[in-house]
Structures are given as C-alpha cells and as structure tokens.
Chain A
Amino acid sequence: MDSIINFLFNDYIIQVATITGINIIMVLGLNLITGVTGQLSLGHAAFMSIGAYSSSIISIKLGAPFIVSLIAGTGFGALFGALLGVPILRLRGDYLAIATLGFGEIVRVVILNTPYLGGALGIYGIPPSTNLAITAFFVVFAIFFMYRLEKSRHGLAIRSIREDEIAAEMMGVNISKYKVLSFTIGSAFAGLGGALYAHFLSYINPIDFGFMKSIEQLCMLVLGGMGSITGAVFGSIVLSTVPEILRFASEYRMVTYGIVLILMMVFRPQGLFGKIKVNV
C-alpha cells in the first residue's frame, strides 16, 4: 500500500499534475474566447506572461502574500484582455487572429527588452507557493465558473455571436460588450494560470510565453473540442501528459504535434468532444 501511495504521489507525478491543472485553467479561458465566442486568438500566451510577470513582481519586489499576487496576476490579465479587446473588436476571423498574434509578439519583445522584468534572463526566486491542492481548487473553480457562465443568459448571448454575429446584433445582443467581456474573462484566466505557473516553477523567462505556447494552448483546445468544457479539460490533460509519457521520444514530439493537428482537422474538425463546428 505504501509503495502505491509513494508511486502516486512522487514529486514528478505531482509536478506533471500541477502543470496539467494550470493548463486546464488557461485553456478554459481560451475556450471562452475562441470556442464559445468564436474569436480566434493566437496570443493567449501573452496574457499568461502578463499574469506571470505581474504576480512575480508583486511577490518579489513588494513582498505581497501569495493570494494578493494571484489576484494581481488575474487582474492584470483581465485588464490587458479588455485593453486589447476594445480596439480589435471590429476585426473578424483571420484579421483578429493576426492582431492577437501581433500583440503576443509585442508583449514578448517588450518583456525581453525591459531590464526591470529581467530581460532575457527572466525572473528568479519567485516564492514557490503554488501546490497541487491550490491548483486543483482553481481548476474546479474555473470549470464551475465556465459552466455557470455558459448556462446563463450572458452565455447564451455570447454563443449567439459565435453562431451568427449579424443575426445576434439584429436580436439586440450588444456584440461589442460581450466580445470585450469574453476577452476580459478569458484573459483573466490566462493571467491566473500564469500567476500559478510562475509561483510553481519559481522561475520565468520570456521564451516560455512565445507564439508556440499560444499554439500549444490552441492545440489542447482543438484536440478536445472547441466550445466544450469537457473537451478543453480533456485536451489539456492529454497534451500535458502524453509528452511526459513519450519523453523518450521527445525529438519526435513536435513533428507528431503537427501531424496530429492536420489529421484532426481533416478527419474530426470538431475535436474529440466537440458538438459544434466553430466557424470563425
């Protein structure tokens, strides 16, 4: 019995489980933006980095307690989500995707060149306050929050934007308000994920939050199925753990990633758990 418990709770498993949980929180945020609202975002990692950096700065330089830095990370994620959401409201489909991509790259370059944020060296010595229990709590919270939101009147309005923007507007849905709201909430979860991530690894670096990270999060969502909470959770679990299991074949990981993405789009574009076809 002891050996089973030791096996189940060794550091490595706990680490993978925590990272998986953090990914679930962020992908649920992306699901709200891309899956539920139908706004393709290729810059989700930017909000993760904003959450990670702001919470780390507050922890280290101001010595704030963990919960304050988590709130700050979430808040900054939300703030930047709203700031980006307002000007790019008018953009649709591909153009929106490109603008979010550009925003992600700008955030990365700015962090990379700001000495106060550690530049290319990153930030060391962030108090390692995140643990599995805290992460699990926020995962449950995120799932519950997203579930309640989708079932609410607001969730219905947000979904109507995905289905047909013009028809939704005709029916009196305030499209601008809901698009910004969706961007803000989705980015807040990315910020929370980033804050948890920084306080788990206690070291962050701009390279961790590049374009490929955004793509990785999108892959998790697409694999599970866009617009589905079950899908977002499942996709995050699979793509966070499979690379660990396949560590011996890590060189082939990214190549396989590419093939899986293409095959998924050709044979099951709605993902494993998706019920709807998101048309962006």
Chain B
Amino acid sequence: MLEIILKQLLNGITVGSIYSLIALGYTMVYGIIKLINFAHGDIYMVGAFIGLIVATHFTSNFIVVMAVAMALTAVLGVLVEKIAYKPVRNSSRISALISAIGASIFISNLVVLINGPQREAYPQIFPEINFVIGGITISFLQIFIILVSIALMFGLYYIVHNTKMGVAMRAVSQNMTTARLMGINSDKVISFTFAIGSSLAAAAGVLVGTYYRAVDPLMGLLFGLKAFVAAVLGGIGSIPGAMVGGLVLGLAEVMGVAFISPSFRDAIAFGILIFILIVKPSGLFGKATKEKV
C-alpha cells in the first residue's frame, strides 16, 4: 500500500510540475495586464509540436530540442500579444477575454489545418531507465522532468527578483501608470512577460511529449484549462502560488485517479476550481482585493 502511495506521489509531482510550468505563464500575464490568456494552452501545444518537428527531423539532443522550442514559442507568444491583446488593452475586460479566445481558436485550428486533427507519436528522446529503490520503481524520465521544472522555476525566480527586467515586471504589475511615469517601458515589459511565459509553456509541452510519448493539436485546451485551474488555486498573479497550485493539482488528480475513479479525472480539477472559487476566490497565495467605490 505504502509503495503504491509513494509511486502515485511521484506521478503526481511529475504531472504537477508540468502544470506549474504552464500555470506560471497564466499567472504572470494575469499579474501584469489582468487578462486570462486563453491562448496560453495553445501556445503550450505549439511548443510541443515545435519540439516534435525538431526531434524527428533535426536532432534528438534534448537541450537543442528544448532550446529551439522555447525560443520559437517565445516569439509566437509576443506575436499573439501584439496582434490580439495590445489593440484591446484599453477596451473592456470582456473584449480582451473574447479576443484571447479568438486567438486560442485560431492557433489550435491552424495547427489542425496543417497537421490534421490526429495524434502524433513523440520520438523517444531518452532511453527508458528505471531505478528500483526500496521496492519502488522510479523512472529516470520522471526525475528528469521534475529537475528540469525546478531548474526553470529557479531561473524564473532569478529573473524576476535579480534582474532589471524583473524589477520592471514587478513594478508594472503593481501599477502600470506609475511604472510608466517612472520611465519603465511597459510595452517592452509586457512583451517580455509573454516571451518568458510562452517559453516556459513550450518547455512544458516538450516535457509532456517526452513523458506521454504523444501530442495532438487539441491538447492545449484541456491541459491549458487545468493549468489555469492550478494558477487560480495558488492565487492568480502570484508566482509561488502557481508553483504550489500546479503541484497540488497534479497530486489531487493522480490520487483521485488512483483511489476514486479514473473516468472522473477531468472533473476533479474543475471541482477543485469551483470549490476554491467559492471558498477563497483569491486562492492560496493571492491577495484579496477590495473594490474601491
């Protein structure tokens, strides 16, 4: 029994750390321009597909695959921001949200148009190595995914807290007008935020591809929505919140599948979502905001 629990714990952390990576993009964008970036899940899917193309046609060197996917997806993220979000930045919130949904529909269906709706097998980048420690089988891939996620999150933490751009990001998220008055180029900061968030999503896409060994053009919708649940769970706008939210969601889902029923996998995430929204809408790490009259 203990072995099963430990095994599921590891599975949960693996999936959870991938959720965290995607959730970070949602939370950073929301923190800065108060927009639910609905296209983020699709950006993650594109990242996975870029990884697939590089890995099948060019090189199976993991670092190269990851770097190319992250770089190209960062460009895509900035493009989406410039085309779909910047023109509606001063319109009502609902306009921005619908524009984001439009971008999401466009990206996912463009990939369907190019690739077809079918699943694609992901090349095996790593040989299957399993360690057995005290009766528990641990795959090398799981450890690797967790380590890569932690490294990327530390990288993000370093950027946000120790670089000039990170300071500017935090300033803009506090108050865009004031930050602008202080000489911060908020457009540049927003673009940078989209680039970082998108590249983390691409990394998650490549990791998911190597873990589940398959990708499909419509995977962004559900996986993205669930990562978004993770962001809300942790408190949207909070970076540590997204990390913790991802892990909690991953664990809850894996445990739910193992001990309740596998067919309600997707309902678990959304059930948690509604519960959190009703009990504590600001999430675990979020600050409650009062509306000013």
List the interface of chain A (C-beta within 8 A of B): 40, 87-88, 90-95, 97-99, 101-103, 105-106, 109-110, 112-113, 166, 211, 215, 218, 222, 226, 251-252, 254-255, 257-262, 264-266, 269, 277-280
Contacts and interface: CB of A to CB of B under 8 A. Distances in A.
Contact of B94 (A40, A92, A101, A112): A40
Contacts of B263: 109, 112-113
Contacts of B96: 265
B interface, over-half SS: helix
Contacts of B271: 102, 106
Interface string B51-91: 00000000000000000000000000000000110011001
A91 B281 contact: yes
Given A261-B105, A265-B99, A95 B221 contact: no
Given A166-B293, A261-B98, A255 B277 contact: no
B267 interface: yes
B274 A102 contact: yes
B113 A252 contact: yes
Most buried by B among A90, A95, A262: A262
B131 to A, nearest CB: 35
A168 to B, nearest CB: 12
A88 B102 CA distance: 26
9 tightest A-B CB contacts, nearest first: A258-B106, A261-B102, A258-B105, A254-B109, A102-B270, A262-B102, A109-B267, A265-B99, A279-B92
B153 interface: no
Contacts of B232: 95, 98
A261 B101 CA distance: 8
B140 interface: no
B264 interface: yes
Nearest to B84: A262
Interface string B261-293: 101101100110110011001000000000101
Given A106-B270, A109-B264, A278 B278 contact: no
A166 B281 contact: no
B105 A257 contact: yes
Given A215-B101, A255-B109, A113 B264 contact: yes
A259 B102 contact: yes
Nearest to A267: B87
B109 A98 contact: no
A215 B267 CA distance: 19
Contacts of A222: 98
Contacts of B278: 87-88, 90-91, 99
Given A109-B263, A269-B88, 5 more contacts: A99-B274, A211-B221, A251-B113, A257-B106, A261-B102
A105 B270 contact: yes
A278 B95 CA distance: 9
A3 B281 CA distance: 61
Contacts of B106: 255, 257-259, 262
A266 B277 contact: no
B109 A109 contact: no
B105 A215 contact: yes
Nearest to A119: B263
B266 A109 contact: yes
A106 B274 contact: yes
B219 interface: no
B104 interface: yes
28 contacts: A87-B278, A94-B97, A95-B277, A95-B281, A98-B228, A99-B277, A99-B278, A103-B274, A105-B225, A105-B266, A105-B267, A106-B271, A109-B263, A110-B267, A113-B261, A113-B264, A166-B291, A215-B105, A218-B101, A251-B113, A254-B109, A261-B98, A261-B102, A261-B105, A269-B91, A269-B92, A280-B93, A280-B94
B103 interface: yes
A269 B261 CA distance: 44
B127 to A, nearest CB: 36
Given A90-B281, A98-B273, A265 B293 contact: no
Contacts of A87: 274, 278
